[in-house]
């Protein structure tokens, strides 16, 4: 029996947007026949900062059941789908802290030929989503991973904002997504599964 392609959907979310993107990616990857782990990056912000934003505290409390990502998840997976907010055109400190723990895997070649794709969100249309995804991919290039950007490989790219590097979404102050990106997220997840399968089961 052919082994299932293994995908880790890794997200960080303060108020829930990237959790939702990750859930859509998880759903589509499973429908594409992958074995999927949905995992979250650990929260490292102090309680005094979190408690100033009721939506942030509420989201943390509501997602305690989601496992925290570890290096074991990276070693296990054939491919990764990251979902991240934008922080000044880069990934949040929480994600950067996790990436900085992967040196041992990198040194031992455990991340070479892993397939990776990324999604992002921001609070305005030109808030750095593309740059955030590209900055994340820079780390993946050091890993020797294979980036599976969606490009314009599906019509959903043209109805979701047109980001070829990875699906991105704008979120207003009430936490509502301003673009319809569900189809784009699911296409990106299916594409990641397909490329990972081609590489790791060829």
Per-residue confidence (pLDDT) for residue 202, from 0 to 100: 67
Sign of CA dihedral 102, 115, 201, 24: positive
The β-bridge relationship of strands 146-147 and 79-85 is: unpaired
Cα separation, 57 vs 37, in Å, equals 24
Around Cβ 157, how many Cβ atoms within 10 Å? 19
Around Cβ 112, how many Cβ atoms within 10 Å? 12
Per-residue confidence (pLDDT) for residue 3, from 0 to 100: 76
Looking at residue 163, the DSSP 8-state letter turns out to be -
Decide: 14 and 85 in contact? Cβ < 8 Å.
yes
Around Cβ 121, how many Cβ atoms within 10 Å? 24
Decide: 150 and 183 in contact? Cβ < 8 Å.
no
pTM: predicted TM-score of the whole model, two decimal places: 0.95
Q: At 23, is the secondary structure helix, strand, or coil?
A: helix
Decide: 148 and 195 in contact? Cβ < 8 Å.
yes
Q: At 120, is the secondary structure helix, strand, or coil?
A: strand
Q: In the chain, what are the domains? A: 6-200 (3.40.50.360)
Per-residue confidence (pLDDT) for residue 58, from 0 to 100: 94
Per-residue confidence (pLDDT) for residue 94, from 0 to 100: 97
Decide: 71 and 111 in contact? Cβ < 8 Å.
no
* Both structure tokens of 199: 């590489």
pLDDT tens by residue, the chain, 202 residues: 567 999 999 999 999 999 999 999 999 999 999 999 999 999 999 999 999 999 999 999 999 999 999 999 999 999 999 999 999 999 999 999 999 999 999 999 999 999 999 999 998 888 889 999 999 999 999 999 999 999 999 899 888 888 999 999 998 888 888 888 999 999 999 999 999 999 998 6
Cα separation, 169 vs 130, in Å, equals 10
In terms of Cα–Cα distance, which of 120, 98, 198 is closest to 164? 120
């Amino acid at each position: 029996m052919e082994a299932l392609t293994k995908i880790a959907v890794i997200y960080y979310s303060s108020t829930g947007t990237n959790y939702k993107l990750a859930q859509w990616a998880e759903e589509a990857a499973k429908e594409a026949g992958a074995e999927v782990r949905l995992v979250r990056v650990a929260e490292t912000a102090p309680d005094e900062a979190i408690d100033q934003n009721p939506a942030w505290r509420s989201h943390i409390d509501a997602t305690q059941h989601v496992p925290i990502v570890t290096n074991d998840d990276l070693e296990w997976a054939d491919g990764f789908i990251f979902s991240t907010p934008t922080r000044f055109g880069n990934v949040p400190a929480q994600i950067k802290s996790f990436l900085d723990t992967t040196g041992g895997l990198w040194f031992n070649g455990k991340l070479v030929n892993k397939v990776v794709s990324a999604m992002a969100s921001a609070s305005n249309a030109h808030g750095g989503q593309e740059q955030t995804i590209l900055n994340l991919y820079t780390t993946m290039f050091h890993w020797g991973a294979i980036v599976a950007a969606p490009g314009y490989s599906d019509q959903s790219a043209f109805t979701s904002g047109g980001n070829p590097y990875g699906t991105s979404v704008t979120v207003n102050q009430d936490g509502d997504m301003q673009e319809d990106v569900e189809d784009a997220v699911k296409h990106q997840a299916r594409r990641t599964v397909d490329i990972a399968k081609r590489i790791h089961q060829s």
